[in-house]
A and B are shown apart, each in its own frame.
Chain A
């Protein structure tokens, strides 16, 4: 049977190469590759490239996390561990390469990180994937704590609180490139992001990838169609560890330093947040999550020290009102779009935009104002949304409070209209959904 299967696979691959289907299937990947190559020439600033590098690393990490959560139904609280270990080893390898004890071009380093992540996941997965649900989550939490604690104890490997650092430029040059500039590193990261996402996509199309979905949906029934749920989870878990390790090595290359902060529980929660915000139910969801999360962290993080608060609020609102995440929000609109009724939504959306925005700006301004009064009370003036104002006068307080109250009130009224319009735009006679 197995050889039959392989024979037909070969035939199919040949057919695929010959037929048009091969071309159409690769279009999104080719487009992505082109977009990734153009991006650094559009956003040329050093800061922009730094952020894009960070986004790329987060994409690989969040996508690998979604192999567990979204595809396999495993809620892990310690996914950063596999990235961290992969990253630490990558830095050590970088240092070995620097001492010329080993010849390894930098672009191959992520593979080392991946294999380390895979190895570590194999060990942990061998016992943690026995059960899903709470047991799995608790074990992942325990492992996360354990490794974070080891960081302080095993200083030879983890370097204690300072972590360990390396120098990526000391690796043998690849085609004359020494990866000195951020832009050169960008291309290395972009390459690995593309490869990783492509491989992760292929994984979802394999028998074990399909069965990961089946085990997520109904582990018991999966057993009754011949699959051990534990083995299916184990394979997914190892694959997720592999890609997390790649992300870790990319991190090591980009920042040239790893510390305990890169694998502790806080980091694991950030991965969870980014993935969830993007949408766990969609293959591409974590990409959007990684982009939004990193932007919140970096761009907003530069503007205010409350970025974590805003991220938290976004997360809670997502969980409560939009459990399918950002991608779910897009996907929702495919229904009215297919029905050709997207136009019906434009008016109510436009109507709610102004009061909604007023409410949003008012809330942010109030939070910032309170934060300013609490922590920078001695400074009379503060700048918010490019406007400088006197925090000691009542005017800004009154204006912002009014914006919040009035904005909320009007939004609530219009929200009904939006709901109605939505119902109309998605209504199909006699169709179950």
Chain B
């Protein structure tokens, strides 16, 4: 079997003695679109923060394409090819849309801490940035400060920043939260487009989006994965229905 794109091995996390993540095992295959669902407070965002080095693990290991990335710094995780978005929009507000995207490309394109290149003169860099902006459908907002974009546009930019630089594994945290139906459609279409040929892990509350997008779904309840499988399997799973899905499905 091919090596998993992302693998969590018995990951635990305590906050002030309370166990929030209680032995999490998760494996995401290469090029798979994998969704994580679960009630509020189940530890979905915490799980992301543990993978990407924002929080330190209490125990367990995280592997990216077979390589141990446990407790690396966020920038090291990104350099290894894993990129994430945030639940709360997390962009560079006082920079233009173009600068936001271009900055997200810099490291991946090998510029590092260079103070001897002029970014304006790097044609490949600028072309790539323009291409991403076009993909995001933000072309007419190119020179607008990111902080004054509409919410949906900011969410799109958030995804743009995440996918810029061509990370192979993409983690999205509630990409459609707080969006109208048409905005959701736009974002889902965008996600489909930009994650083509990549491994996607997505946390999402909107079950329509989840069942539409995901190849496999894991259900996270109180810091544990209670089920993993295809959308149909998960929908039919007794434990899932009891714990979470039944209530969530009625809502929608």
Q: Which residues of A contact B (CB under 8 A)?
A: 1-2, 4-5, 8-9, 12-13, 16, 202-203, 205-211, 213-214, 216-218, 220-228, 231-232, 235, 239, 281, 432-433
Question: What are 23 A-to-B residue pairs whose CB atoms are below 8 Å?
Answer: A1-B110, A5-B122, A8-B123, A12-B123, A205-B120, A208-B113, A209-B115, A211-B106, A214-B95, A214-B99, A214-B103, A217-B95, A221-B86, A221-B91, A221-B92, A223-B75, A224-B75, A225-B107, A227-B113, A228-B73, A228-B75, A231-B113, A235-B115
Once the chains bind, are B119 and A217 in contact (CB under 8 Å)?
no
In the bound complex, residues from chain A placing their C-beta under 8 Å from that of B122 are 5, 8-9, 12
Q: How far is the CA of A211 from the CA of B150 in the complex (A)?
A: 24
With a 10 A CB-CB cut-off, give which of B78, B95, B117 has the most chain A CB atoms: B117
* B118 at the binding interface (Cβ < 8 Å): yes
Q: How far is the CA of A281 from the CA of B94 in the complex (A)?
A: 10
Once the chains bind, are B121 and A217 in contact (CB under 8 Å)?
no
A225 and B165 contact, Cβ closer than 8 Å, known pairs A210-B99, A214-B92: yes
Once the chains bind, are B113 and A232 in contact (CB under 8 Å)?
yes
Report the nearest B residue to A239, measured CB to CB: B115
Could you tell me the dominant secondary structure of chain A's interface residues? helix
Once the chains bind, are B103 and A210 in contact (CB under 8 Å)?
yes
Once the chains bind, are B117 and A221 in contact (CB under 8 Å)?
no
* B102 at the binding interface (Cβ < 8 Å): yes
* B109 at the binding interface (Cβ < 8 Å): yes
A5 and B78 contact, Cβ closer than 8 Å, known pairs A210-B103, A217-B95, A225-B165: no
**B85-142 interface (Cβ within 8 A of A):** 86, 90-95, 99, 102-104, 106-124
Q: B153 → chain A, closest Cβ, in Å?
A: 10
Q: How far is the CA of A347 from the CA of B211 in the complex (A)?
A: 63
Once the chains bind, are A432 and B123 in contact (CB under 8 Å)?
no
A207 and B117 contact, Cβ closer than 8 Å, known pairs A224-B84, A228-B75: yes
* B164 at the binding interface (Cβ < 8 Å): yes
In the bound complex, residues from chain B placing their C-beta under 8 Å from that of A1 are 109-110
Q: Which of B93, B95, B119, B161 contacts A207 (CB 8 A)?
A: B119
In the bound complex, residues from chain B placing their C-beta under 8 Å from that of A222 are 92, 103
Q: B158 → chain A, closest Cβ, in Å?
A: 9
Q: Which of B83, B110, B120, B165 contacts A5 (CB 8 A)?
A: B110
In the bound complex, residues from chain A placing their C-beta under 8 Å from that of B90 are 218, 220-221, 224
Once the chains bind, are B119 and A206 in contact (CB under 8 Å)?
yes
Report the nearest A residue to B161, measured CB to CB: A225
Report the nearest B residue to A12, measured CB to CB: B121
Once the chains bind, are A205 and B91 in contact (CB under 8 Å)?
no
In the bound complex, residues from chain B placing their C-beta under 8 Å from that of A217 are 92-95
* B79 at the binding interface (Cβ < 8 Å): yes
* B148 at the binding interface (Cβ < 8 Å): yes
Task: Identify 8 new A-B residue pairs, CB closer than 8 A, beyond the known A8-B123, A207-B119, A432-B150.
Answer: A5-B124, A206-B117, A208-B113, A210-B103, A224-B84, A227-B106, A228-B75, A281-B94
A205 and B73 contact, Cβ closer than 8 Å, known pairs A217-B94, A225-B78: no
In the bound complex, residues from chain A placing their C-beta under 8 Å from that of B106 are 207, 210-211, 225-227
In the bound complex, residues from chain B placing their C-beta under 8 Å from that of A231 are 113
Q: How far is the CA of A13 from the CA of B90 in the complex (A)?
A: 35
In the bound complex, residues from chain B placing their C-beta under 8 Å from that of A232 are 113
Once the chains bind, are B114 and A433 in contact (CB under 8 Å)?
no
Q: B175 → chain A, closest Cβ, in Å?
A: 15
* B74 at the binding interface (Cβ < 8 Å): yes
Q: B197 → chain A, closest Cβ, in Å?
A: 20
Total number of B residues with any Cβ neighbor in A under 8 Å: 44
With a 10 A CB-CB cut-off, give which of A2, A217, A239 has the most chain B CB atoms: A217
* B176 at the binding interface (Cβ < 8 Å): no
Once the chains bind, are B111 and A8 in contact (CB under 8 Å)?
no
Q: A121 → chain B, closest Cβ, in Å?
A: 14
Q: How far is the CA of A2 from the CA of B109 in the complex (A)?
A: 8
Once the chains bind, are B165 and A226 in contact (CB under 8 Å)?
yes
Once the chains bind, are B121 and A16 in contact (CB under 8 Å)?
yes
Report the nearest B residue to A232, measured CB to CB: B113
Which 6 A-B residue pairs are closest in the complex by CB-CB distance?
A226-B107, A1-B110, A12-B121, A207-B111, A217-B92, A223-B74
Report the nearest A residue to B113, measured CB to CB: A208
* B52 at the binding interface (Cβ < 8 Å): yes
Q: How far is the CA of A211 from the CA of B75 in the complex (A)?
A: 13
Once the chains bind, are B112 and A207 in contact (CB under 8 Å)?
yes
Q: B120 → chain A, closest Cβ, in Å?
A: 6
In the bound complex, residues from chain B placing their C-beta under 8 Å from that of A9 are 117-118, 121-122
Report the nearest A residue to B92, measured CB to CB: A217
In the bound complex, residues from chain B placing their C-beta under 8 Å from that of A202 are 118
A432 and B148 contact, Cβ closer than 8 Å, known pairs A5-B109, A16-B121: yes
Once the chains bind, are A433 and B148 in contact (CB under 8 Å)?
yes
Q: Which of A4, A16, A206 contacts B114 (CB 8 A)?
A: A206
In the bound complex, residues from chain B placing their C-beta under 8 Å from that of A281 are 94
Q: Which of A8, A209, A216, A221 contacts B124 (CB 8 A)?
A: A8
Once the chains bind, are B116 and A206 in contact (CB under 8 Å)?
yes
A218 and B91 contact, Cβ closer than 8 Å, known pairs A8-B124, A9-B121, A224-B78: yes
Q: How far is the CA of A217 from the CA of B118 in the complex (A)?
A: 21
Q: How far is the CA of A8 from the CA of B111 in the complex (A)?
A: 13
With a 10 A CB-CB cut-off, give which of A2, A5, A203 has the most chain B CB atoms: A5
Q: How far is the CA of A235 from the CA of B103 in the complex (A)?
A: 16
Q: How far is the CA of A203 from the CA of B120 in the complex (A)?
A: 12
Q: How far is the CA of A223 from the CA of B86 in the complex (A)?
A: 13
With a 10 A CB-CB cut-off, give which of A8, A207, A217 has the most chain B CB atoms: A207
A226 and B121 contact, Cβ closer than 8 Å, known pairs A206-B116, A221-B91: no
Q: How far is the CA of A203 from the CA of B103 in the complex (A)?
A: 15
Once the chains bind, are A208 and B115 in contact (CB under 8 Å)?
yes
Q: How far is the CA of A432 from the CA of B146 in the complex (A)?
A: 12
Q: How far is the CA of A54 from the CA of B59 in the complex (A)?
A: 60
Q: A286 → chain B, closest Cβ, in Å?
A: 18
With a 10 A CB-CB cut-off, give which of A1, A217, A225, A231 has the most chain B CB atoms: A225
Once the chains bind, are B148 and A224 in contact (CB under 8 Å)?
no
In the bound complex, residues from chain B placing their C-beta under 8 Å from that of A211 are 103, 106, 113
